[in-house]
Amino acid sequence: MSTLYQKQNIALYNSLSGQKETFKPLLDGNVGMYVCGPTVYSNVHLGNVRTFMSFDMIFRYLKHLGYKVRYVRNITDAGHLTDDADEGEDKIAKKARLEQIEPMEVVQQYTIDFHTILQKFNCLPPSIEPTATGHIIEQIEIIKEIIDNGFAYEKNGSVYFDVLKFNETHEYGKLSGRNLEDMITNTRELAAQSEKKNAQDFALWKKAEPQHIMRWPSPWGDGFPGWHLECTAMSTKYLGDQFDIHGGGMDLKFPHHECEIAQSEASNGKNPVNYWLHANMLTLNGKKMSKSDGNNIFPAQIFTGDSPFLTKGFSPSVARFFIMQAHYRSVLDFSNDALLASEKGFNRLMEAVNLLDSLPTAETSSLDISGWKQSCYTAMNDDFNSPILIAQLFEAAKFIHQIKDGKAKISQTDLEIFKKSIHAFVFDILGLEDVNAVAEANTDKLNGTIELLIQLRKEARANKDFATSDQIRDQLLELGIQLKDGREGTTYTLS
């Protein structure tokens, strides 16, 4: 029996070639995917959440097709400097200094926040989630290889990648489309860059000054790795020198991803990635999100509604549905009105899904179910086009209501295919959750738990164990659950 991926051909947009290409993994039936994770020095940014959610959807679809996917997403817990280049202070060390705590306390706090937020958005965990500090040895070994191959040099305890030397035999700038000559022309010589041979060179290892609290021993003295290096070390360790997909936000294309390519080619002579995928940015009310300008919202504020930009709170699934309504490569504008519109659409879709089990069947169907199903796959095969998929799901919702109203019909066989397909695309691939169904399930659990406690209290009273009886009543009251004894038995109210 053939696997689903053998019937469905994916065309994805490769940032390296600038065009859509047919996806063909290096190893049949297997996909290696690396996505740049967060630098854990603050609460996760909503724009970053959009990127991780987009790749979660891609991960889900590849798994649905039957691929065995190894999804690696790193945690940056060292080496990311405040100016995103080679100067300034380590972002985590700076936060630790300001709050007078250990750097790893900062890392722990914000890693937990990151995981909590992605869990709320129903993102699946990656197969492997390595940290930069856990791979210092691998990073040092790659630096040695690059030096041995003549593409890096040591200066005062720091090691820099020699971009001009590399460009003599390779093409630095091929991912971002930047021309090195133009970069040289447009670069001002900065005093802080004086120990580099060229302004375009980037750090593979930085010497740790006496005040730098995050430091490791190396052949070049105590220091810490460059930000770009960690992703090369972790991606190649877990996915091999060459792998299928590398993802991240559009803002990482240059210099981060450009440097990753250069590091791999300089160390092992191989182009590391076949398909580069980049998710686009999220704006807020038509403007770039910015903490300094106050034009910013954190993911947790969406759930509570505690933001001047929102009139109410929204469930994580509504927010996820809103994000899935735009293609991952397009700019998406976040606003209260857009979320309200998405909430209406989400509720309409869930209402239709919940009608599936009660639909009447007939001898024949008035909709080509297999054709509709393939149209959903066609949407996803076209560079994971989630908005087109959602449009097809709304067509299905319309058909469901027509069947319910007796204006259309469906056979029993087609209904089973229809139900299975809708559940696969709505829940397994888009990763949505039926908010009302979850709430009802939680209510059922609560009712069952309270009824059990009422029964235990009744037995305690029958045994004249009034201390236990009163304890159950009083502790439930502290939780906002008031028991009321009457002739018909004990009932409860929630306060």
How many percent of the chain have pLDDT more than 90?
A: 79
What average pLDDT does this structure show over 329-356? 97
pLDDT in tens, 318-338: 999 999 999 999 999 999 999
**CB of 156 closer than 8 Å to CB of 209:** no
CA distance 155 to 150: 14
CA distance 362 to 127: 44
| Band (186; pLDDT cuts 50, 70, 90) | low
pLDDT in tens, 253-308: 999 999 999 999 999 999 999 999 999 999 999 999 988 888 999 999 999 999 99
Asked if the bond preceding 272 is cis, omega within 30° of 0, the reply is no
Asked if residue 311 and residue 266 are part of one domain, the reply reads: no
Q: What is the CATH number of the domain that holds 355?
A: 1.10.730
Q: Say if residue 437's pLDDT is above 70.
A: no
> Higher pLDDT residue, 178 or 445?
178
What average pLDDT does this structure show over 409-437? 94
What pLDDT is recorded for position 442? 52
What pLDDT is recorded for position 438? 52
Asked if residue 333 and residue 317 are part of one domain, the reply reads: yes
| Band (352; pLDDT cuts 50, 70, 90) | very high
Q: Which amino acid is at 240?
A: G
What average pLDDT does this structure show over 424-439? 86
Asked if residue 52 and residue 116 are part of one domain, the reply reads: yes
The alpha carbon of residue 48 and the mean position of all alpha carbons in its chain are separated, in whole angstroms, by 7
> Higher pLDDT residue, 438 or 295?
295
pTM of the entire structure? Answer: 0.88
What pLDDT is recorded for position 1? 62
What average pLDDT does this structure show over 460-472? 87
What pLDDT is recorded for position 242? 98
CA distance 376 to 482: 49
DSSP track, 254-308: IIIIHHHHHHHHHHHSS--EEEEEEE--EEETTEE-BTTTTB---HHHHHH--ST
| Band (87; pLDDT cuts 50, 70, 90) | confident
What pLDDT is recorded for position 191? 44
**HSE-up (13 A, CA, CB side) for residue 104:** 6
Q: Which residues are annotated as a binding site for ATP?
A: 291
**Partners of 223 in the beta sheet?**
207, 216
What average pLDDT does this structure show over 171-177? 96
Q: Which amino acid is at 79?
A: G
What pLDDT is recorded for position 187? 61
Q: Last residue of some domain: 233, 251, 279?
A: 279
Q: Say if residue 229's pLDDT is above 90.
A: yes
Q: Last residue of some domain: 245, 263, 279?
A: 279
**Of 227-231, 310-314, 445-449, which gets the smallest average pLDDT?**
445-449
Q: What is the DSSP letter of 425?
A: I
φ/ψ of 66, rounded to 5, equals: 100, 5
CA distance 450 to 492: 8
Asked if residue 441 and residue 309 are part of one domain, the reply reads: no
**Partners of 159 in the beta sheet?**
154, 205
Q: Which residues are annotated as a binding site?
A: 36, 231, 256, 260, 291
Q: Which residues are annotated as a binding site for Zn(2+)?
A: 36, 231, 256, 260
Q: What stretches of 86-135 show up as alpha helix (H) in DSSP?
A: 91-99, 103-120
pLDDT in tens, 50-65: 999 999 999 999 999 9
What pLDDT is recorded for position 439? 47
Count Cβ atoms below 10 Å from residue 79 Cβ, excluding itself: 25
Q: What is the CATH number of the domain that holds 166?
A: 3.40.50.620
| Band (470; pLDDT cuts 50, 70, 90) | confident
Asked if residue 388 and residue 258 are part of one domain, the reply reads: no
Q: Last residue of some domain: 388, 407, 428?
A: 428
Asked if residue 173 and residue 59 are part of one domain, the reply reads: yes
**CB of 273 closer than 8 Å to CB of 263:** no
Asked if residue 138 and residue 57 are part of one domain, the reply reads: yes
Asked if residue 233 and residue 172 are part of one domain, the reply reads: yes
**CB of 93 closer than 8 Å to CB of 76:** no
Domain limits for position 121: 4-279
Backbone Cα Rg of the chain:
27
**Of 156-160, 163-167, 180-184, 364-368, which gets the smallest average pLDDT?**
180-184
**CB of 278 closer than 8 Å to CB of 256:** no
Asked if residue 93 and residue 162 are part of one domain, the reply reads: yes
What average pLDDT does this structure show over 210-236? 95
Q: Say if residue 441's pLDDT is above 60.
A: no
The alpha carbon of residue 178 and the mean position of all alpha carbons in its chain are separated, in whole angstroms, by 28
Asked if residue 207 and residue 346 are part of one domain, the reply reads: no
**CB of 201 closer than 8 Å to CB of 85:** no
Asked if residue 74 and residue 140 are part of one domain, the reply reads: yes
Domain count within the chain:
3
CA distance 68 to 202: 36
Asked if residue 392 and residue 268 are part of one domain, the reply reads: no
What average pLDDT does this structure show over 422-430? 98
